[in-house]
Structure 1
Amino acid sequence: MSGEPEVHEEFEARLKAYEGRPAAATGVGRDPVNEPMIRHWCEAMGDTSPAYTGPDAIAPPTMLQAWTMAGLTRRPERTAAYDELLTLLDESGHDAVVATDCDQEYLRPLRPGDEITFDSVIESVSGRKTTKLGAGYFVTTRTDIRAGGELAGTHRFRILKYAPAHRSSRPVERRPRPVVNRDNAGFWEGVARHELLIQRCTACGTLRFPWLPGCNACGSPDWDTVEASGEGTVYSYVVLHHPPFPAFEPPCAVGLIELAEGVRIVSNVVGVPYDKVRIGMPVRLEFRRYDEELVLPVFQGVTP
């Protein structure tokens, strides 16, 4: 045990050696500052300031990082030093990551047509910290963003690379209970019998899901049900990583499933690795019991 602090000190010294090394070099924005992106940003944020429209428009200052983002691709300007640092942390067991905070400094406004360049540096690596998520290290990068060669702003971004806390001693958490009311009770009664029931308007024949008190096509309050065949495809999906929720084990895939009958339902995609789920993947209904009370419909991925 007496040697443990020395091991930590040696490891932290290796991490500290990356401070001041570049994380991204000679980066170039994918697009010049442009009006469509400014408009999308303002619509998403609900920002109606006249400063962001018209012939003298500027970009919202908080868009600073948006002009440097790579989308879904890995940026070619990311350096080997940054990859080495992350690999060192991964291999030491600190393989989980969560973004913790960022701060920005604005030096001059960006305007449509500005060409963006940037460089990033590994500004700091903290000592070992203990958090509720687990013990780990905070890594801070600083990105200097330029327009036409002139420094326009600085963006600092901090992540925590950590070893997830041991959870075996925690009590087993139950899945949240569905909200059952007079409008959907029949659906959950069907699930208990391992039947996935879809409402059908008896006036116009329109199928609907989720269950509603009236038809959204013709307004009729009269309905019956049809049982879903259980065949479907992944219409869309997300992968849940963070934050972890009690009774769930991320990463897991949550899919919007289009049933063969034409309606869509949100449920877990199971039976295939989360990173193999794809839009258009065939799925098949199954029912899983999660505890003595709860049965849920889920969808088994069907691979070729």
Structure 2
Amino acid sequence: MTGQDESAVAQTGDAGYEERLRAFTGRELRPLTLAQDPVNQPMIRHWTEAMGDTNPVYTDAGAARATGRGGVVAPASMTQAWTMRGYAATASPPAGRDGFDELVDLLDEGGYTSVVATDSEFTFLRELEPGDHLAVRESVESISPQKRTGLGTGRFVTTVKTYTDQHGETVATQRWRTLRFRPAPEPAERRNEAQEQASAPNPAGKPGAARAPRPRPAVNLDNAFFFDGAKQHRLLIQRCAACSTPRHPPGPCCPECNSLEWDTVEASGHGHVYSYVVNHHPRHPAFDFPLVVAVVGLAEGTRLITNLTGVAPEDVTIGMPVVLDWLDADPDLTLPVFRPAPTEAP
């Protein structure tokens, strides 16, 4: 038995824990479930408008036929969306338990109580057309041995979703991988500091009161430059080195030309409120409430989710000019925020 296996046994108190996990390999987690609605043109239109995808084969039957298709087709990336169970079933799940619930219980038993998605691989066998009615089933492909990761000790769980049409023919498969992990303990110094701050919480969100530290962002190889720049009070935006398209959030590949080469451009700090929400609940002691969360359209041509400061929620308007400011949350974290742009004198 390896040291990692021994740790798992110690956590569960069950020498057969590994065998019980392995027994899930190949097991169906969720039975064949029919999508609520068939593929339809209105939802395709809503999707393409939201995504800014102007390819006419999704909305114009004539343009689709000109490419050799029989009519409009659905974007491949919508495949999973057709089978999502919707708000009602999410808010009030049906009674009963399935294999997925049992697997989560077993992972919780081992202390793997946190989860983060790691990757998704789709294979598309044909395009979907209005009238297709999908169904999906999900089974376990593998559960990895215990691994040590930056997030904590955990296991990678890989499942396969198989999408079939109304004739039972497979139209796509999706390999979905998540990391179920035990959160890594915080360094003692930071933990003690957080406990001291939490002992004097700020439930009313009053400025100046002692508060818990701001939640940490998930920093990785793709976005580390952004947070490093913020510490220097520089708002750096990722830019494709091939076609010069700016993008945020940062990622490894340009969505316009698929180039993997990129550089950065320092934003001017000018923008406008593209959209916003006002958060009242749930309250976190690190923030002042009500909290204005905005999507700011930057002058450089991309958008950034951020907080607005120096303005009452009722005074925020769509299109309002804003300028960059900086929140030095603590010695380890600086974040860009925005405030109303100064009014020019007549």
What one-letter code is carried by the residue in structure 2 that aligns with 1:166? P
Query: Which residue does 1:15 correspond to in 2?
Result: 21
How far did residue 46 of structure 1 move?
A: 2.0
Residues in 2 aligned to 1:236 and 1:113: alpha-carbon distance in whole angstroms:
40
Question: Does the Cα contact within 8 Å between 1:23 and 1:79 map onto a contact in 2?
Answer: no
> Do residues 61 (structure 1) and 76 (structure 2) align?
yes
Contact 1:239 1:253 survives alignment (8 Å): no
Select the residue among 98, 121, 125 that pairs with 1:103.
121
Query: Which of the residues 70, 82, 93 maps onto 2:85?
Result: 70
Q: How far is the alpha carbon of 1:158 from its aligned partner? A: 1.0
AA of the residue aligned to 1:71: G
Deviation at 1:8, TM superposition (A): 3.9
Q: Contact between 2:134 and 2:164, CA under 8 Å: does it hold in 1?
A: yes
For structure 1, which runs of at least 5 residues remain unmatched after alignment? 180-233, 242-246, 266-289, 293-304
Report SS of the residue matched to 1:98.
Answer: strand
Query: What is the identity, as a one-letter code, of the residue corresponding to 1:11?
Result: Y
2:170 aligned with 1:151, yes or no? yes
Partner of 1:122: 140
Residue 86 of structure 2 aligns to a residue whose secondary structure is coil
> Given the superposition, is the C-alpha separation of residues 159 and 170 from structure 1 closer, same or farther in structure 2, using an over 3 Å criterion?
farther
Contact 1:31 1:115 survives alignment (8 Å): yes
RMSD: 4.4
1:166 aligns with 2:213: no
Task: Give me the identity figure in percent.
Answer: 40
Indicate conservation of the 8 Å contact 2:145/2:155, yes or no: yes
* 2:173 aligned counterpart, secondary structure: strand
Question: Which whole-Å CA distance do the structure 2 matches of 1:135 and 1:144 have between them?
Answer: 29
Q: CA deviation at 1:18?
A: 0.6
Count residues with an aligned counterpart.
211
Counterpart in the other structure of 2:40: 34
Deviations 1:41-63, CA, capped at 9 Å, x for gaps:
21222221122136760111111
- SS for the counterpart of 1:82 is helix
How far apart are 1:145 and its partner, in Å? 0.6
Q: C-alpha separation between the residues in 2 aligned to 1:49 and 1:77?
A: 42
Within a 5 Å distance, the mapping from 1:159-238 to structure 2 comes to 159-169=178-188, 171=190, 235-236=278-279
Please give the alpha-carbon distance, in whole angstroms, between the structure 2 residues aligned to 1:116 and 1:124: 25
Secondary structure of 2:104 counterpart: helix
In structure 1, the residue matched to 2:151 is: 133
Q: TM-score, normalised by structure 1?
A: 0.56
Check conservation: 1:24, 1:77, Cα contact below 8 A. Answer: no
Shift of 1:7: 6.1
Superposed, 1:236-255 pairs within 5 Å as 236=279
* Partners of 1:240 and 1:253 within 8 A in 2: no
- Residue 91 of structure 1: CA displacement? 2.4
Q: Which has the higher helix share?
A: 2
Q: Does 1:49 align with 2:55?
A: yes
Q: Which amino acid letter does the alignment assign opposite residue 21 of structure 1?
A: R
For the structure 1 residues 2 and 44, does the alpha-carbon distance in structure 2 shift closer, same or farther, using more than 3 Å as the test?
Answer: closer
Which amino acid in 2 is paired with 1:151? T
Deviation, structure 1 residue 82: 1.6
Per-residue CA deviation, residues 240-299 of structure 1 (Å, 9 max, x unaligned), is 99xxxxx969xx99666xx9994469xxxxxxxxxxxxxxxxxxxxxxxx889xxxxxxx
Q: Which residue of 1 aligns with 2:109?
A: 91
2:99 aligns with one of 60, 81, 91? 81
Which range moved further: 28-37 or 167-176? 167-176
Q: Return the structure number with greater strand share.
A: 1
Native 8 Å contact 1:33 1:111 kept in 2: yes
SS of corresponding position for 1:115: coil
CA contact (8 A) 2:30 2:99 kept: no
